[in-house]
Structure 1
């Protein structure tokens, strides 16, 4: 696991439910980690809602339209599927049917979702604040959804 004291590979999300800290895994998915950091530094995720939240499964975010139909203006990413299991707290990229269609949307697993293993790109894991993720309002789509207030790379945050 990536050391949580690696500020360049740590994300801090301030959500409407509280703070969530994610350890990034560039060892597993270097292109996806680079994309997430690029978008976080551009403040892309600020104000984006958790548009698809399924109890016992996952909370999905990262769509600028708030519907699950959009992404950033950057090109889609080539899949970096890996053997890291989809378990509680894991962060993985959402995608369309095409394996190489991940862009900006991602999800955080509430519990084990091993059926996704090696089919979606795992790029991080929640190290603090999973109790806040657990409080995110459920729905498909979510009515009056929770959101990411801000998402920053820890190295960019004043101590």
Structure 2
């Protein structure tokens, strides 16, 4: 159990581990900064269009991204209807070239398959492409998890009730894509991870937003320090 907890911690973006002082009320306020009308008002109506109510990049359609790596090509399908802010954030960084020449900085496949984490651009050229050009600061997005029985995702809140976990639309299964973050639920930025096996222990804690639809054989052979040559948006 101790070994597993240590692996969970490694999913975090090591450059943003300063959130230990955050309190639950403060976390809620942070989410309200992200969403123009705040999470509370959004959740009052299931008819609200999230993308019209947030200043963050937001896409509510399926999108496709090709990762060209030094080991081969990986095609991703992203589910904007289930995770519009997470997908919008990812696509925005892709189009800005933020993932180009970035390394896979955490690969855990021993003693059993776990995750491959990518998006670390601090180790190649120190380009700091995770900076939002509009604000000049890092852009963080809230935890975003959608339940099958809800029209809108839940924001800024881990889901731990068994009945709700069973109802999560996008779960941590092999080949699926999720956002890395630090201890704060609203600290996802640029880094993501691909699951090498199903990990239901992560459901409700991290935002799943897509999956590998081609090239999982490439993902399986990636090692730490392998890298993304280019990431680009493509047609289905």
Q: Which has the larger radius of gyration?
A: 2
Q: Does 1:154 align with 2:234?
A: yes
Match of 2:94 in 1: 40
Is it true that 1:81 corresponds to 2:145 in the alignment? yes
Q: How does 1:46-125 map to 2 (within 5 A)?
A: 46-55=100-109, 56-66=113-123, 72-74=130-132, 75-82=139-146, 83=168, 84-125=170-211
- Cα distance in 2 for partners of 1:16, 1:114 equals 30
Instruction: Report the Cα offset of residue 114 of structure 1.
Output: 1.0
In 2 relative to 1, CA 104–17 (structure 1 residues): closer, same or farther, beyond 3 Å?
A: same
Distance 1:47 1:10, change over 3 A: same
Distance 1:116 1:54, change over 3 A: same
**Count, aligned residues:** 142
Structure holding more helix per residue: 2
Which 4+ residue blocks in structure 1 deviate beyond 6 angstroms?
A: none
TM-score normalised per structure 1: 0.84
Secondary structure, aligned partner of 2:105 = strand
Match of 1:4 in 2: none
Question: What runs of 5+ residues in structure 1 fail to find an aligned partner?
Answer: 1-6
Structure 2 contact 120–191 (Cα < 8 Å) conserved: yes
TM-score normalised according to structure 2 size: 0.57
SS at match of 1:40: helix
Residue number in structure 2 paired with 1:3? none
Contact 1:60/1:107 (8 A) holds in 2 = yes
CA contact (8 A) 1:13 1:148 kept: yes
Distance 1:99 1:106, change over 3 A: same
SS of the residue corresponding to residue 9 of structure 1 reads strand
